[in-house]
Amino acid sequence: MILDVSDASFQAEVLDRSATVPVIVDLWAPWCEPCKTIGPILEKLTKAANGKVVLAKVNVDQNPAIAAAFKAQSIPAVYAMKDGAVLDGFVGAYPEHVIEEFVRGLVPGEALVSVESLLALGDETSLGAAFMLEPTNELVVVALAKLLISRSDIPAALALLTSIPSTPQIQLLVDEAKLAFAPTDDFDDQLSNLLPKVKLDDDARAAYLAILETMGVNDPRTAGHRKKFTAQLF
């Protein structure tokens, strides 16, 4: 769990919550460049801990009382709390493996789930969890998209593939997905019948657009039908 915590919510979200689960307090600010480095690492490792720890993010510019309570002289400053007391902490940016050991120390006996291990499992649940941890990881996106294509869920696969910057491998999968698409609806026929009428008939035009909306941008046919619509109007 990842929370944005304020001066007003600190008691409930951090101190009280720390009675049941370790809470990592991340003191940061938008202008702090090192904060931008360790923030995503802390978020990823918190997710990998599967609910065994909570991450409380505190913008010190907006919440000076919390920063004062920790006597923070500089940021990023990270503290681990349990039962209302500080267990451990560090100040400054550290490599991921150091931060991972810090988090692992809060959940003894628990293994942090890695993207690599989830990829190795390869089932839909594991790949979905890997995507939650690293949604821009191309290996994760490719593996999950291949699974979706294999079960003919083409719109979902295309939505996934277009969620990250295109690469040659991503484009190959996009092309594969479009070739594998086998519609079970009659939208093509409906749109073909409506197309000659859309220029002069408001109802036909509205019906055509409604079908395109239902199909959605990730239906491989949508772009082609939209081009035909535009050509018919002008």
Catalytic residues: 32, 35
Q: Which residues contact 191 (CB under 8 A, 6 or more apart)?
A: 208, 211, 212, 225, 228
Name the pairing type of β-strands 77-82 and 23-28: antiparallel
Q: Looking at this protein, which amino acid is placed at residue 9?
A: S
CA distances from 158 to 26, 74, 126, 219 (A): 36, 44, 20, 8
Number of other residues whose CB lies within 10 A of the CB of residue 124: 12
Distance CA 149, CA 163 (A): 16
- In Å, how far from its chain's centre is CA 9? 25
Distance CA 183, CA 226 (A): 17
Number of other residues whose CB lies within 10 A of the CB of residue 86: 12
